[in-house]
Structure 1
Amino acid sequence: MMGAPLLHRDDPDKDPLIGNVKVTRQDWLNAALAALKQGGVETVKVADLAARMQVSRSSFYWYFKNRTDLLDALLQHWQDTNTVALVQQADAPARTITEACCNVFHCNIDARLFDNRLDFAIRDWARRSERVNAVLKAGDAARLDALTAMFERHDYPPLEATARARVIYYMQLGYDDADLGETLEQRLSMVPGYLVAFTGRTASAEEIAAFNDFARAVTR
Protein backbone atom coordinates (compact mmCIF):
# COMPACT_ATOMS: atom_id res chain seq x y z
CA MET A 1 0.00 0.00 0.00
CA MET A 2 1.39 3.36 -0.99
CA GLY A 3 1.73 5.89 1.79
CA ALA A 4 -0.03 9.15 1.02
CA PRO A 5 2.28 12.19 0.75
CA LEU A 6 1.86 14.88 3.36
CA LEU A 7 -0.64 17.43 2.08
CA HIS A 8 -0.21 21.16 2.47
CA ARG A 9 -3.33 21.32 4.66
CA ASP A 10 -1.93 18.70 7.04
CA ASP A 11 1.55 20.21 7.37
CA PRO A 12 1.84 22.47 10.43
CA ASP A 13 4.88 24.19 8.93
CA LYS A 14 2.91 25.41 5.90
CA ASP A 15 0.77 28.51 5.74
CA PRO A 16 -2.94 27.69 6.13
CA LEU A 17 -5.00 27.42 2.96
CA ILE A 18 -7.53 30.15 2.30
CA GLY A 19 -11.20 29.85 1.36
CA ASN A 20 -12.40 26.68 -0.33
CA VAL A 21 -8.94 25.56 -1.43
CA LYS A 22 -8.21 22.12 0.03
CA VAL A 23 -5.09 21.12 -1.91
CA THR A 24 -2.40 22.95 -3.82
CA ARG A 25 -0.87 22.28 -7.21
CA GLN A 26 2.14 20.83 -5.41
CA ASP A 27 -0.16 18.45 -3.52
CA TRP A 28 -1.48 17.11 -6.83
CA LEU A 29 2.05 16.80 -8.18
CA ASN A 30 3.31 15.04 -5.04
CA ALA A 31 0.43 12.58 -5.13
CA ALA A 32 1.10 11.91 -8.82
CA LEU A 33 4.82 11.40 -8.14
CA ALA A 34 4.03 8.91 -5.38
CA ALA A 35 1.71 6.98 -7.70
CA LEU A 36 4.26 7.02 -10.53
CA LYS A 37 7.02 5.66 -8.31
CA GLN A 38 4.83 3.04 -6.71
CA GLY A 39 2.86 1.65 -9.62
CA GLY A 40 4.02 3.24 -12.87
CA VAL A 41 2.46 5.83 -15.13
CA GLU A 42 -0.73 3.76 -15.59
CA THR A 43 -1.60 4.42 -11.94
CA VAL A 44 -1.43 8.21 -12.33
CA LYS A 45 -5.18 8.76 -12.70
CA VAL A 46 -6.99 11.91 -11.71
CA ALA A 47 -9.90 10.12 -10.03
CA ASP A 48 -7.58 7.93 -7.96
CA LEU A 49 -5.44 10.88 -6.89
CA ALA A 50 -8.52 12.85 -5.90
CA ALA A 51 -9.82 9.94 -3.83
CA ARG A 52 -6.47 9.56 -2.12
CA MET A 53 -6.43 13.23 -1.15
CA GLN A 54 -10.16 13.26 -0.35
CA VAL A 55 -10.98 16.13 -2.68
CA SER A 56 -13.19 16.66 -5.70
CA ARG A 57 -11.79 15.92 -9.14
CA SER A 58 -12.86 19.41 -10.18
CA SER A 59 -10.07 20.98 -8.13
CA PHE A 60 -7.56 19.24 -10.41
CA TYR A 61 -8.60 21.53 -13.26
CA TRP A 62 -7.69 24.62 -11.27
CA TYR A 63 -4.06 23.63 -11.78
CA PHE A 64 -3.85 21.36 -14.84
CA LYS A 65 -5.58 21.35 -18.22
CA ASN A 66 -5.85 17.56 -18.31
CA ARG A 67 -3.99 14.37 -17.39
CA THR A 68 -1.45 14.98 -20.17
CA ASP A 69 -0.62 18.33 -18.61
CA LEU A 70 -0.01 16.56 -15.28
CA LEU A 71 2.22 13.96 -16.93
CA ASP A 72 4.20 16.75 -18.59
CA ALA A 73 4.64 18.31 -15.15
CA LEU A 74 6.01 15.02 -13.81
CA LEU A 75 8.57 14.89 -16.60
CA GLN A 76 9.55 18.50 -16.00
CA HIS A 77 9.92 17.80 -12.27
CA TRP A 78 12.28 14.91 -13.07
CA GLN A 79 14.37 17.16 -15.29
CA ASP A 80 14.42 20.01 -12.75
CA THR A 81 15.42 17.77 -9.85
CA ASN A 82 17.34 14.62 -10.76
CA THR A 83 19.06 15.81 -13.91
CA VAL A 84 19.80 19.30 -12.61
CA ALA A 85 21.16 17.92 -9.34
CA LEU A 86 23.55 15.48 -10.97
CA VAL A 87 24.81 18.12 -13.40
CA GLN A 88 25.32 20.59 -10.56
CA GLN A 89 27.20 18.04 -8.47
CA ALA A 90 29.45 17.18 -11.40
CA ASP A 91 30.09 20.90 -11.94
CA ALA A 92 30.81 21.60 -8.26
CA PRO A 93 34.31 22.94 -7.47
CA ALA A 94 36.79 20.20 -6.53
CA ARG A 95 40.54 20.18 -6.07
CA THR A 96 40.95 16.58 -7.23
CA ILE A 97 39.03 14.14 -9.40
CA THR A 98 38.37 11.94 -6.36
CA GLU A 99 36.80 14.88 -4.53
CA ALA A 100 34.76 15.61 -7.68
CA CYS A 101 33.48 12.03 -7.74
CA CYS A 102 32.55 12.26 -4.08
CA ASN A 103 30.46 15.31 -4.97
CA VAL A 104 28.63 13.18 -7.53
CA PHE A 105 28.21 10.37 -4.98
CA HIS A 106 26.13 12.80 -2.91
CA CYS A 107 23.31 12.12 -5.38
CA ASN A 108 23.36 8.44 -4.48
CA ILE A 109 23.19 9.13 -0.77
CA ASP A 110 20.85 12.11 -0.49
CA ALA A 111 17.34 11.47 -1.86
CA ARG A 112 16.64 15.20 -1.58
CA LEU A 113 19.19 15.68 -4.38
CA PHE A 114 18.43 12.66 -6.53
CA ASP A 115 15.37 10.41 -6.28
CA ASN A 116 16.43 6.98 -7.53
CA ARG A 117 12.90 5.60 -7.46
CA LEU A 118 11.73 8.44 -9.68
CA ASP A 119 14.56 7.74 -12.12
CA PHE A 120 13.56 4.08 -12.32
CA ALA A 121 9.91 5.06 -12.88
CA ILE A 122 10.79 7.46 -15.70
CA ARG A 123 12.92 4.79 -17.37
CA ASP A 124 10.10 2.29 -17.15
CA TRP A 125 7.69 4.86 -18.59
CA ALA A 126 10.12 5.63 -21.42
CA ARG A 127 9.97 2.01 -22.62
CA ARG A 128 6.33 2.61 -23.54
CA SER A 129 6.46 6.16 -24.85
CA GLU A 130 8.66 7.53 -27.63
CA ARG A 131 8.07 11.06 -26.36
CA VAL A 132 9.21 10.20 -22.85
CA ASN A 133 12.13 8.19 -24.23
CA ALA A 134 13.32 11.28 -26.10
CA VAL A 135 13.19 13.31 -22.88
CA LEU A 136 15.03 10.56 -21.04
CA LYS A 137 17.78 10.39 -23.67
CA ALA A 138 18.24 14.16 -23.50
CA GLY A 139 18.55 13.95 -19.71
CA ASP A 140 21.06 11.12 -19.91
CA ALA A 141 23.08 13.07 -22.46
CA ALA A 142 23.18 16.16 -20.25
CA ARG A 143 24.35 14.12 -17.27
CA LEU A 144 27.03 12.30 -19.27
CA ASP A 145 28.25 15.58 -20.77
CA ALA A 146 28.64 17.02 -17.27
CA LEU A 147 30.52 13.96 -16.02
CA THR A 148 32.77 13.93 -19.09
CA ALA A 149 33.58 17.60 -18.57
CA MET A 150 34.33 16.84 -14.91
CA PHE A 151 37.02 14.33 -15.91
CA GLU A 152 38.39 16.62 -18.61
CA ARG A 153 38.81 19.43 -16.05
CA HIS A 154 41.11 17.09 -14.18
CA ASP A 155 43.30 16.47 -17.24
CA TYR A 156 41.91 13.20 -18.56
CA PRO A 157 42.13 12.94 -22.36
CA PRO A 158 38.74 13.24 -24.14
CA LEU A 159 38.26 9.55 -24.96
CA GLU A 160 39.25 8.42 -21.47
CA ALA A 161 37.06 11.13 -19.91
CA THR A 162 34.09 9.89 -21.93
CA ALA A 163 34.73 6.26 -20.99
CA ARG A 164 35.14 7.01 -17.29
CA ALA A 165 32.01 9.19 -17.33
CA ARG A 166 30.01 6.31 -18.78
CA VAL A 167 31.42 3.84 -16.25
CA ILE A 168 30.58 5.99 -13.23
CA TYR A 169 27.16 6.96 -14.57
CA TYR A 170 25.85 3.58 -15.60
CA MET A 171 27.30 1.88 -12.54
CA GLN A 172 25.62 4.37 -10.22
CA LEU A 173 22.29 4.01 -12.03
CA GLY A 174 22.30 0.28 -11.46
CA TYR A 175 23.70 0.30 -7.93
CA ASP A 176 20.42 0.80 -6.11
CA ASP A 177 18.53 -1.35 -8.58
CA ALA A 178 20.84 -4.24 -7.64
CA ASP A 179 19.43 -4.07 -4.07
CA LEU A 180 22.60 -5.39 -2.46
CA GLY A 181 21.17 -5.16 1.03
CA GLU A 182 24.21 -3.28 2.33
CA THR A 183 24.27 -1.28 5.50
CA LEU A 184 25.49 2.30 5.18
CA GLU A 185 28.79 1.39 6.80
CA GLN A 186 29.31 -1.50 4.38
CA ARG A 187 28.63 0.82 1.49
CA LEU A 188 30.98 3.48 2.80
CA SER A 189 33.75 0.91 3.28
CA MET A 190 33.73 0.35 -0.50
CA VAL A 191 34.03 4.03 -1.47
CA PRO A 192 37.86 4.21 -1.52
CA GLY A 193 38.00 1.19 -3.82
CA TYR A 194 35.27 2.53 -6.07
CA LEU A 195 37.15 5.81 -6.42
CA VAL A 196 40.28 3.97 -7.54
CA ALA A 197 38.20 2.00 -10.04
CA PHE A 198 36.48 5.10 -11.40
CA THR A 199 39.45 7.46 -11.50
CA GLY A 200 42.66 5.41 -11.33
CA ARG A 201 43.66 7.57 -8.37
CA THR A 202 43.57 7.23 -4.59
CA ALA A 203 41.44 9.59 -2.56
CA SER A 204 42.96 11.33 0.43
CA ALA A 205 41.91 10.38 3.95
CA GLU A 206 40.40 13.85 4.30
CA GLU A 207 38.20 13.38 1.23
CA ILE A 208 36.94 10.01 2.43
CA ALA A 209 36.25 11.39 5.91
CA ALA A 210 34.33 14.35 4.51
CA PHE A 211 32.17 12.12 2.33
CA ASN A 212 31.52 9.70 5.19
CA ASP A 213 30.48 12.57 7.45
CA PHE A 214 28.08 13.82 4.78
CA ALA A 215 26.55 10.36 4.27
CA ARG A 216 26.06 9.70 7.96
CA ALA A 217 24.53 13.12 8.53
CA VAL A 218 22.07 12.69 5.64
CA THR A 219 20.96 9.21 6.66
CA ARG A 220 20.84 9.85 10.41
Structure 2
Amino acid sequence: MSDAPLLHRDDPSRAPLAGHTKVTREDWLAMARDTLVHDGADQVKILTLAQRMGVSRSSFYWYFRNRTDLLHALLDEWEARNTARITAHCARPAATITEAVCNFFRCFVDPASFDQGLDFAVREWTRRDEALRARVDAADAARIKAVTEMFIRHGYDPEEADARARILYFMQLGYHALDVREPMDLRLSRVGPYLKGFTGQEPCADALAAFIADVSQMEAR
Protein backbone atom coordinates (compact mmCIF):
# COMPACT_ATOMS: atom_id res chain seq x y z
CA MET A 1 0.00 0.00 0.00
CA SER A 2 1.02 3.58 -0.54
CA ASP A 3 2.41 5.65 2.33
CA ALA A 4 0.10 8.53 1.33
CA PRO A 5 -2.37 9.68 4.00
CA LEU A 6 -5.63 7.76 3.94
CA LEU A 7 -7.76 10.84 4.32
CA HIS A 8 -7.90 13.79 1.98
CA ARG A 9 -7.89 16.24 4.87
CA ASP A 10 -4.51 14.90 6.04
CA ASP A 11 -2.84 15.49 2.67
CA PRO A 12 -1.22 18.94 2.62
CA SER A 13 -0.67 18.72 -1.14
CA ARG A 14 -4.42 19.01 -1.76
CA ALA A 15 -6.69 22.00 -1.44
CA PRO A 16 -8.70 22.40 1.78
CA LEU A 17 -12.21 21.00 1.78
CA ALA A 18 -15.01 23.46 1.25
CA GLY A 19 -17.69 24.33 3.82
CA HIS A 20 -18.51 21.73 6.43
CA THR A 21 -17.34 18.79 4.32
CA LYS A 22 -15.04 16.57 6.38
CA VAL A 23 -14.24 13.84 3.89
CA THR A 24 -14.32 13.35 0.13
CA ARG A 25 -15.28 10.45 -2.08
CA GLU A 26 -11.57 9.69 -2.34
CA ASP A 27 -11.37 9.50 1.47
CA TRP A 28 -14.13 6.89 1.60
CA LEU A 29 -12.43 4.91 -1.16
CA ALA A 30 -9.03 5.13 0.51
CA MET A 31 -10.41 3.90 3.83
CA ALA A 32 -12.38 1.15 2.09
CA ARG A 33 -9.27 0.07 0.18
CA ASP A 34 -7.16 0.00 3.33
CA THR A 35 -9.84 -2.02 5.13
CA LEU A 36 -10.15 -4.44 2.22
CA VAL A 37 -6.40 -5.05 2.14
CA HIS A 38 -5.95 -5.50 5.89
CA ASP A 39 -9.27 -6.92 7.06
CA GLY A 40 -11.06 -8.34 4.03
CA ALA A 41 -14.18 -7.41 2.09
CA ASP A 42 -16.54 -8.47 4.90
CA GLN A 43 -15.26 -5.57 7.00
CA VAL A 44 -15.82 -2.95 4.31
CA LYS A 45 -18.98 -1.64 5.94
CA ILE A 46 -20.33 1.89 5.92
CA LEU A 47 -20.56 2.25 9.69
CA THR A 48 -17.12 0.72 10.23
CA LEU A 49 -15.50 3.08 7.74
CA ALA A 50 -17.29 6.09 9.21
CA GLN A 51 -16.10 5.22 12.71
CA ARG A 52 -12.52 4.81 11.55
CA MET A 53 -12.62 8.23 9.90
CA GLY A 54 -14.47 9.86 12.78
CA VAL A 55 -17.34 11.12 10.62
CA SER A 56 -21.05 10.56 10.29
CA ARG A 57 -22.00 7.79 7.90
CA SER A 58 -24.59 10.08 6.34
CA SER A 59 -21.82 11.71 4.27
CA PHE A 60 -21.27 8.35 2.59
CA TYR A 61 -24.50 8.82 0.67
CA TRP A 62 -23.27 12.03 -0.89
CA TYR A 63 -20.90 9.92 -2.96
CA PHE A 64 -22.30 6.36 -3.14
CA ARG A 65 -25.77 4.88 -3.46
CA ASN A 66 -25.04 1.98 -1.12
CA ARG A 67 -22.32 -0.47 -0.02
CA THR A 68 -22.55 -2.35 -3.31
CA ASP A 69 -21.82 0.87 -5.18
CA LEU A 70 -18.72 1.38 -3.01
CA LEU A 71 -17.52 -2.19 -3.63
CA HIS A 72 -17.88 -1.74 -7.37
CA ALA A 73 -15.94 1.51 -7.13
CA LEU A 74 -13.14 -0.38 -5.35
CA LEU A 75 -13.03 -2.87 -8.21
CA ASP A 76 -12.94 -0.04 -10.74
CA GLU A 77 -9.99 1.46 -8.88
CA TRP A 78 -8.21 -1.91 -8.76
CA GLU A 79 -8.59 -2.32 -12.52
CA ALA A 80 -7.50 1.25 -13.22
CA ARG A 81 -4.46 0.94 -11.01
CA ASN A 82 -3.20 -2.60 -11.51
CA THR A 83 -4.60 -3.99 -14.74
CA ALA A 84 -4.31 -0.76 -16.72
CA ARG A 85 -0.76 -0.19 -15.56
CA ILE A 86 0.38 -3.69 -16.46
CA THR A 87 -1.01 -3.28 -19.95
CA ALA A 88 0.58 0.17 -20.23
CA HIS A 89 4.00 -1.17 -19.23
CA CYS A 90 3.71 -3.98 -21.76
CA ALA A 91 2.94 -1.43 -24.48
CA ARG A 92 6.02 0.71 -23.82
CA PRO A 93 8.43 1.02 -26.75
CA ALA A 94 11.31 -1.48 -26.57
CA ALA A 95 14.05 -2.35 -29.04
CA THR A 96 14.27 -5.99 -27.90
CA ILE A 97 12.09 -8.49 -26.13
CA THR A 98 14.39 -8.49 -23.11
CA GLU A 99 13.98 -4.72 -22.84
CA ALA A 100 10.22 -5.23 -23.12
CA VAL A 101 10.25 -7.78 -20.29
CA CYS A 102 12.26 -5.31 -18.20
CA ASN A 103 9.42 -2.83 -18.75
CA PHE A 104 7.00 -5.50 -17.51
CA PHE A 105 9.18 -6.01 -14.41
CA ARG A 106 9.25 -2.26 -13.77
CA CYS A 107 5.52 -2.32 -13.13
CA PHE A 108 5.96 -4.74 -10.24
CA VAL A 109 9.09 -3.41 -8.55
CA ASP A 110 7.59 0.07 -8.16
CA PRO A 111 5.01 0.11 -5.29
CA ALA A 112 3.59 3.33 -6.72
CA SER A 113 2.70 1.47 -9.91
CA PHE A 114 1.39 -1.95 -8.90
CA ASP A 115 -0.46 -2.38 -5.59
CA GLN A 116 0.39 -5.94 -4.57
CA GLY A 117 -1.74 -5.84 -1.41
CA LEU A 118 -4.80 -4.62 -3.26
CA ASP A 119 -4.38 -7.23 -6.00
CA PHE A 120 -4.37 -10.16 -3.62
CA ALA A 121 -7.07 -8.70 -1.40
CA VAL A 122 -9.34 -8.58 -4.45
CA ARG A 123 -8.46 -12.18 -5.32
CA GLU A 124 -9.19 -13.33 -1.79
CA TRP A 125 -12.48 -11.48 -1.92
CA THR A 126 -13.56 -13.22 -5.14
CA ARG A 127 -12.89 -16.63 -3.61
CA ARG A 128 -15.82 -15.89 -1.34
CA ASP A 129 -17.98 -14.18 -3.95
CA GLU A 130 -18.42 -16.22 -7.10
CA ALA A 131 -20.32 -13.41 -8.81
CA LEU A 132 -17.16 -11.31 -8.80
CA ARG A 133 -14.88 -14.07 -10.04
CA ALA A 134 -15.71 -13.32 -13.68
CA ARG A 135 -14.37 -9.79 -13.26
CA VAL A 136 -11.03 -11.03 -11.96
CA ASP A 137 -10.87 -13.65 -14.72
CA ALA A 138 -11.48 -10.90 -17.28
CA ALA A 139 -8.71 -8.78 -15.75
CA ASP A 140 -6.27 -11.69 -15.88
CA ALA A 141 -7.23 -12.34 -19.50
CA ALA A 142 -6.58 -8.68 -20.38
CA ARG A 143 -3.19 -8.76 -18.66
CA ILE A 144 -2.13 -11.98 -20.37
CA LYS A 145 -3.30 -10.59 -23.70
CA ALA A 146 -1.10 -7.53 -23.21
CA VAL A 147 1.93 -9.68 -22.39
CA THR A 148 1.20 -11.98 -25.33
CA GLU A 149 1.00 -9.04 -27.72
CA MET A 150 4.32 -7.81 -26.33
CA PHE A 151 5.97 -11.08 -27.35
CA ILE A 152 4.25 -11.09 -30.75
CA ARG A 153 5.58 -7.60 -31.52
CA HIS A 154 9.07 -9.00 -31.07
CA GLY A 155 8.64 -11.81 -33.56
CA TYR A 156 7.23 -14.71 -31.56
CA ASP A 157 4.47 -16.71 -33.20
CA PRO A 158 1.10 -16.45 -31.40
CA GLU A 159 1.22 -19.91 -29.84
CA GLU A 160 4.68 -19.45 -28.37
CA ALA A 161 3.88 -15.88 -27.37
CA ASP A 162 0.82 -17.07 -25.44
CA ALA A 163 2.80 -19.75 -23.63
CA ARG A 164 5.66 -17.41 -22.70
CA ALA A 165 3.19 -14.73 -21.60
CA ARG A 166 1.47 -17.15 -19.23
CA ILE A 167 4.76 -18.38 -17.81
CA LEU A 168 5.93 -14.81 -17.21
CA TYR A 169 2.64 -13.51 -15.79
CA PHE A 170 1.86 -16.44 -13.52
CA MET A 171 5.45 -16.51 -12.26
CA GLN A 172 5.25 -12.85 -11.33
CA LEU A 173 1.98 -13.28 -9.43
CA GLY A 174 3.31 -16.40 -7.75
CA TYR A 175 6.41 -14.51 -6.66
CA HIS A 176 4.19 -12.12 -4.74
CA ALA A 177 1.78 -14.81 -3.52
CA LEU A 178 4.63 -16.76 -1.94
CA ASP A 179 5.89 -13.56 -0.31
CA VAL A 180 9.41 -14.33 -1.50
CA ARG A 181 11.91 -12.38 0.59
CA GLU A 182 15.43 -11.93 -0.66
CA PRO A 183 17.93 -9.07 -0.63
CA MET A 184 17.43 -6.79 -3.60
CA ASP A 185 21.01 -7.21 -4.76
CA LEU A 186 20.48 -10.99 -4.91
CA ARG A 187 17.20 -10.51 -6.75
CA LEU A 188 18.83 -8.19 -9.27
CA SER A 189 21.67 -10.66 -9.84
CA ARG A 190 19.09 -13.11 -11.13
CA VAL A 191 17.41 -10.77 -13.60
CA GLY A 192 19.76 -11.68 -16.47
CA PRO A 193 19.14 -15.44 -16.19
CA TYR A 194 15.43 -14.77 -15.69
CA LEU A 195 15.30 -12.77 -18.91
CA LYS A 196 17.02 -15.55 -20.84
CA GLY A 197 14.65 -18.12 -19.36
CA PHE A 198 11.51 -16.12 -20.13
CA THR A 199 12.50 -15.04 -23.63
CA GLY A 200 14.94 -17.69 -24.86
CA GLN A 201 17.31 -14.87 -25.84
CA GLU A 202 20.45 -13.37 -24.36
CA PRO A 203 19.54 -10.22 -22.42
CA CYS A 204 20.25 -6.85 -24.01
CA ALA A 205 23.13 -5.52 -21.90
CA ASP A 206 21.98 -1.89 -22.08
CA ALA A 207 18.39 -2.74 -21.16
CA LEU A 208 19.52 -4.90 -18.25
CA ALA A 209 21.87 -2.20 -16.96
CA ALA A 210 19.13 0.45 -17.24
CA PHE A 211 16.66 -1.73 -15.36
CA ILE A 212 19.12 -2.45 -12.54
CA ALA A 213 19.96 1.26 -12.31
CA ASP A 214 16.25 2.16 -12.10
CA VAL A 215 15.59 -0.35 -9.34
CA SER A 216 18.68 0.74 -7.40
CA GLN A 217 17.51 4.33 -7.62
CA MET A 218 14.06 3.37 -6.30
CA GLU A 219 15.67 1.48 -3.43
CA ALA A 220 17.76 4.51 -2.52
CA ARG A 221 14.72 6.79 -2.11
Name the structure 1 match of 2:207.
207
* Superposed counterparts of 1:158-173, under 5 Å: 158-173=158-173
Q: Are the aligned partners of 2:96 and 2:204 in contact in 1 as well (CA < 8 Å)? A: no
Q: Which moves more between the two structures, 210-219 or 139-148? A: 210-219
Following superposition, the deviation at residue 80 of structure 1 comes to: 0.8
Name the structure 1 match of 2:10.
10
What is the percent sequence identity of the aligned residues?
Answer: 53
* Superposed counterparts of 1:79-118, under 5 Å: 79-118=79-118
Q: Are the aligned partners of 1:4 and 1:31 in contact in 2 as well (CA < 8 Å)? A: no
Which amino acid is 2:54 matched to? Answer: Q
Name the structure 2 match of 1:33.
33
Q: Are the aligned partners of 2:5 and 2:11 in contact in 1 as well (CA < 8 Å)? A: no
Q: Which moves more between the two structures, 81-90 or 205-214? A: 205-214
Give ranges in structure 2 of 5+ residues lacking alignment. none
- What is the distance in 1 between the residues matched to 2:154 and 2:205? 19
RMSD: 1.4
Following superposition, the deviation at residue 146 of structure 1 comes to: 0.7
Name the structure 1 match of 2:59.
59
- What is the distance in 2 between the residues matched to 1:54 and 1:122? 26
- Cα distance change of structure 1 residues 179 and 24 upon mapping to structure 2, 3 Å threshold: same
- What is the distance in 2 between the residues matched to 1:114 and 1:4? 15
- What is the distance in 2 between the residues matched to 1:100 and 1:4? 30
Give ranges in structure 1 of 5+ residues lacking alignment. none
Name the structure 2 match of 1:126.
126
- What is the distance in 2 between the residues matched to 1:68 and 1:77? 14
SS at match of 2:190: helix
Q: Are the aligned partners of 2:98 and 2:201 in contact in 1 as well (CA < 8 Å)? A: yes
- What is the distance in 2 between the residues matched to 1:90 and 1:121? 24
Name the structure 2 match of 1:184.
184
- What is the distance in 2 between the residues matched to 1:137 and 1:6? 29
What is the TM-score normalised by the length of structure 2? 0.95
Q: Are the aligned partners of 1:36 and 1:44 in contact in 2 as well (CA < 8 Å)? A: yes
Following superposition, the deviation at residue 121 of structure 1 comes to: 0.8
Q: Are the aligned partners of 1:5 and 1:34 in contact in 2 as well (CA < 8 Å)? A: no
Following superposition, the deviation at residue 198 of structure 1 comes to: 0.4
- What is the distance in 2 between the residues matched to 1:55 and 1:12? 20
What is the TM-score normalised by the length of structure 1? 0.95
Name the structure 2 match of 1:149.
149
- What is the distance in 2 between the residues matched to 1:171 and 1:33? 25
- What is the distance in 2 between the residues matched to 1:15 and 1:46? 25
SS at match of 1:112: coil
Following superposition, the deviation at residue 130 of structure 1 comes to: 2.2
Following superposition, the deviation at residue 18 of structure 1 comes to: 1.1
Following superposition, the deviation at residue 5 of structure 1 comes to: 4.2
Q: Aligned residues, how many?
A: 218
Q: Report whether the alignment pairs 1:70 with 2:70.
A: yes
Following superposition, the deviation at residue 131 of structure 1 comes to: 2.4
